[in-house]
Amino acid sequence: MNITKEQIDDLNAVVKVAVTKDDYQDKVETILKDYRKQANIPGFRKGQVPMGLIKKQYGKAVLVDEVNKLLQDNLNKYLTEEKLDVLGNPLPKQQDNFDWDTEDFAFEFELGLAPNFEVPLKSKKAIVHYTIVADKKMVDEQVERIQKQYGKLVNKSEVGKKDEVIGVFKNEAEEIDNKTTIELDKVKSKKALESLLGKKVGDVVSLKTKGLFKEDYLLSSALGIDKEKAEKLNTDVDFTIEEINEREPAELNQDLFDKLFGKDNVKSEAELKAKIKEDSEKQFEQQSDQKLLNDITESFISTVKFDLPSGFLKKWIQMTGEKPLTEEEANEEYEKSEKGLRYQLIEGKIIKDNNIEIQFDELKEFAKGFIKSQMAQYGQLNPAEEELDNIAARVMSNQDEVKRLSEQLMSQKLLNLYKEKANLKTKEITYENFVKEVYG
């Protein structure tokens, strides 16, 4: 078998494969002999069917199958040995005069080659790296939420501004009949608040659905209807009051601190606020890092310029999907995927140039860290090392989980590289302002 490459340009090449009878004959003969041993053909004893009949019935199919296997194995070996960085897979060229009845064959495959380019990690324009802080307002609000969550309900005779009212929403025409709890501090409509204040158990209040709550998602839950219906609803509903409660805030004492953080880990209101600030900013760091990763990715895509073998890739998309695409459909798919392909090449180049690797032991430790954080969410703060090892072993036996964790660990390694070498400028910002600035 002889394989040669014809370079068309920097991004395209044709590989020619010459297959002779000597390359496949022995294998084909062996398979046909096995067929003869097993063949059941009327008029012949098993194993005694003439070889000529076997060749006539099975020879062409076996030949085609074996030649295709040879092509695949040797072409892949050639690409590896020649260190050809190809995009997609080799595409067989159409050969109108191809004849399987000859003894020697010539095949041609189109290759799309990855471009050569450099990725400067330090961009000319600095990229913002946000440091999100939990300000006093946020910490105080979180303390209030904790006090409310762990407080006790005190029954009242009439509705006040900060009360929780249990009742039933009804509207026969809209098929609404749902018992719920309304927190008055979440009611947006002034008219609705005026209607509710001072009311007693048994009173029925008519409320307009449009703009009832400060957060739109609360309406569907309160009325017991789906989100789509709630978004379009603009009608009056009757609310029958069944119970009125005031939530008395929990005291900021050692019992509450121990419930929240374990015994004696927090011993004062000042330590509570410091702990809330610390925990919040750890969570914000994940959002900040993700924003940085996204911004650096976009920066690379917009500044690192290189050509792609677009003609080859469009043809590859057209021919290799689940079903053949038209030229127009293939062009559309290429336009959708081009940005992602560009970043894959850029990321691969960064990983190669900076010798970034993932070792099994560090992936296992990464998995254990992920498992530990998951367990902490369910109150298991100090799992035994043996238990972590056992769970990690089960996780690492699942290839899908290994792939997912590997991608996360690689993202973390890239992020650490960018923090060290990219042109970044730090911007300290509150979470509220971060949301406004980043998400509008």
3-state secondary structure of 5: strand
What pLDDT sits at residue 46?
77
We find that the CATH architecture of domain 2-113 is: 2-Layer Sandwich (3.30)
What pLDDT sits at residue 381?
65
Q: Where are the domains of the chain?
A: 2-113, 152-248, 272-439
Kindly report the CATH number that applies to the domain delimited by 272-439.
Answer: 1.10.3120
Contact in structure between 114 and 86 (CB atoms under 8 Å): yes
Using one digit for the tens of pLDDT, what is the confidence trace for 338-374? 999 999 999 999 999 999 999 999 999 999 888 888 8
Q: What is the pLDDT averaged over residues 378-389?
A: 79
Q: Token digits for 259?
A: 């419930």
Closest CA to 173 of 114, 238, 231: 238
Q: In angstroms, rounded to a whole number, what is the distance separating the alpha carbons of residues 415 and 289? A: 8
- Identify the DSSP state of 134: -
Q: Token digits for 357?
A: 């690797």
We find that the CATH architecture of domain 152-248 is: Roll (3.10)
Using one digit for the tens of pLDDT, what is the confidence trace for 28-87? 989 988 888 877 777 777 777 888 888 888 888 999 999 999 999 999 999 999 999 999
Whole-prediction pTM: 0.73
The percent helix, strand, coil of the chain (3-state, each to 5) is 50, 20, 30
Using one digit for the tens of pLDDT, what is the confidence trace for 257-300? 998 888 898 999 999 999 999 999 998 999 999 999 999 999 99
Using one digit for the tens of pLDDT, what is the confidence trace for 119-161? 999 989 999 999 999 999 999 999 999 998 899 999 999 999 9
Closest CA to 28 of 57, 65, 2: 65
